[in-house]
Homo-oligomer: A and B are copies of this chain.
């Protein structure tokens, strides 16, 4: 087992990647620190060398997701309609662990500590600003809210036909 400084950075990245995926898939409280570490190929004991608490891991993992999405956006932002059509695809609904963090964790994040909320608020702002480049600010806000809400509702729905109707209905509503 390598113990170099470079290896530590790689471990940290692996932990953040595992955390970001698992938290979105199962919720923050649905995943233990030990599970995250195991998923990253480590054991639970090494955790304190990287993060001082689980909450810090949550904040850092979300920040990493947002940074990655800023550096290399997954969805096209040519226009609001193009973005919405991509966001509202069934593939996104199924890939919870790699999809929008707000749709996956939104209602839990409402109760996150201040430091985490600050990171989240900045990302909401960034996302709206990005979309507002090709349309009005009100459209950007309303449409993105619709996407996030629709994705969440489509995931709650227990049958595919109705879930699809939510996604497609919202897509049509947004002219996408």
Contact = CB atoms under 8 A, between A and B. Distances in A.
Interface stretch (A8-16, A42-50, A100-108): A100-108
B111 A152 contact: no
A19 interface: no
Contacts of A106: 106-107, 149, 152-153, 156
Interface in A102-140: 102-112, 114, 117-118, 120-121, 124-125, 137-140
Contacts of A29: 27, 29
A95 interface: no
Given A107-B152, A145-B149, A153-B106, A121 B172 contact: no
21 contacts: A26-B111, A102-B152, A102-B156, A103-B107, A106-B156, A108-B108, A109-B156, A110-B155, A124-B156, A124-B162, A138-B169, A140-B169, A141-B165, A141-B166, A142-B170, A145-B145, A145-B149, A148-B153, A149-B149, A149-B152, A152-B152
Given A30-B111, A141-B166, A146-B146, 9 more contacts: A29-B29, A109-B156, A112-B156, A117-B158, A125-B162, A142-B146, A142-B172, A145-B173, A149-B150
